[in-house]
Structure 1
Amino acid sequence: MELGLIGQAAGMFAVTNVDDIVLLALFFGQAAGQRGGAVRVVAGQYLGFAGILAASIVGALGAGLLPDAVIPYLGLLPLLLGLRAAWQAWRSRQGVDQETVTAGTGPTVPAVAAVTFANGGDNIGVYVPVFATAGTGGLVVFAVVFLVLVAVWCAAGRFFATRPIIARGLSRWGHVVLPVVLIGIGLVILVEGGAFGF
Structure 2
Amino acid sequence: MGIIGQAVVLFAVTNIDDIVILALFFARGAGRPHLVRDIAVGQYLGFAGILAVAVAAAFGARLLPGAVLPWLGLLPLALGLRAGWQVWRSRHDEDGGDGGGGVEWAGVLGLAAVTFANGGDNIGVYVPVFAAAGAAGMSGYVVVFLLLVAVWVALGRFFATRPVVARALSRWGHVLLPVVLVGLGLLILSGGF
* TM-score strictly above 0.5: yes
Poorly superposed stretches of 4+, deviation over 4 Å = 99-102
Aligned to 1:78: 76
Q: Aligned Cα RMSD in Å?
A: 1.6
Matches within 5 A, 1:1-198: 4-93=2-91, 94-98=96-100, 101-102=103-104, 106-192=105-191
Contact 1:101-1:111 within 8 A present in 2 as well? no
Contact 1:79-1:185 within 8 A present in 2 as well? yes
Q: How far apart, in 1, do the equivalents of 2:82 and 2:153 lie?
A: 27
* 1:118 CA drift (Å): 1.0
Aligned residues: 189
1:43-77 alpha-carbon deviations (Å, 9 max, x no partner): 11100100110010011011011111111000000
TM-score, normalised via structure 2 length: 0.93
Q: How far apart, in 2, do the equivalents of 1:63 and 1:193 lie?
A: 17
Q: How far apart, in 2, do the equivalents of 1:173 and 1:151 lie?
A: 23
Q: How far apart, in 2, do the equivalents of 1:21 and 1:34 lie?
A: 20
Contact 1:21-1:157 within 8 A present in 2 as well? yes
Unaligned runs of 5+ in 2: none
* 1:192 CA drift (Å): 2.1
Percent identity between matched residues is 65
